[in-house]
Amino acid sequence: MCGIVGAVSGRNIVPILVQGLQRLEYRGYDSCGVAVNAAQTQMGQAAGLQRARSTERVAELVAQVNAPSGGLQGTTGIAHTRWATHGAPAVHNAHPHFSPGPGVKAGEGKGRIGLVHNGIIENHEELRAELQAKGYAFASQTDTEVIAHLVDALYQGDLFEAVQAAVRQLRGAYAIAVMAKDE
Ligand code: GLU
């Protein structure tokens, strides 16, 4: 069973997020990841949504986020341990998933919405087709990425409203944590 963590603080939240993942490790997982909204450019890190993901243990993720060159820092963040249901256990399928908006090639562009998800979205295929028709490109095989793009498509400056509207279109059993670059 996977785990999700979300946190907001006045100081760097990454140690709290990875500690949350360490506490969830006992549940088992095939990959893990953490993302922050970096309000300003830090040493070796660009502003905006940034993430680190791994198909190894949380300890390897900790090494990535603490790397002297290009570590991760921010005051708002989300994190996840994944137990794959849709898509192989691979880095590109690991959460957090980002939506860079429509008209951007898969794997390119900056994240506007970042999301972690526990559970299954039953109507992901139909939603994926609708979002592809709107110009969203998919970088993973997960049902999760559909939610990130759906929230982006509905976002008009209020993340809570966009998430509420997105959830009304989802079928399945799930929990999510979401953040927006602009909030
Ligand atoms: N269905 C999602 C996936 O395959 C989430 C799985 C989970 O709950 O960890 O990525």
Question: Is the shortest distance between the CB of 118 and ligand 1 below 6 Å?
Answer: yes
Task: Convert 119-150 to b/e letters by CB count within 10 Å (16 or more is b).
Answer: bebeebeebbebbeeeebbbbbebbbbbbbbb
Place of tokens 């994240």: 111
Residue 40 has pLDDT above 90, yes or no: no
The CA 83 to ligand 1 mean position distance, Å, reads 6
Query: Where is pLDDT greater, at 109 or 172?
Result: 172
The CA 77 to ligand 1 mean position distance, Å, reads 19
Question: Is the shortest distance between the CB of 82 and ligand 1 below 6 Å?
Answer: yes
Q: Is the dihedral of CA 120, 122, 127, 132 positive or negative?
A: positive
Tens of pLDDT, residue by residue over 54-112, are 999 999 999 999 988 778 999 999 999 999 999 999 999 999 999 999 999 988 889 99
Report in angstroms the alpha-carbon separations of 115 from 4, 11, 33.
10, 21, 11
The CA 162 to ligand 1 mean position distance, Å, reads 21
Query: How many Cβ atoms are within 10 Å of 116's Cβ, its own excluded?
Result: 29
Residue 42 has pLDDT above 60, yes or no: no
pTM for the structure as a whole? 0.95
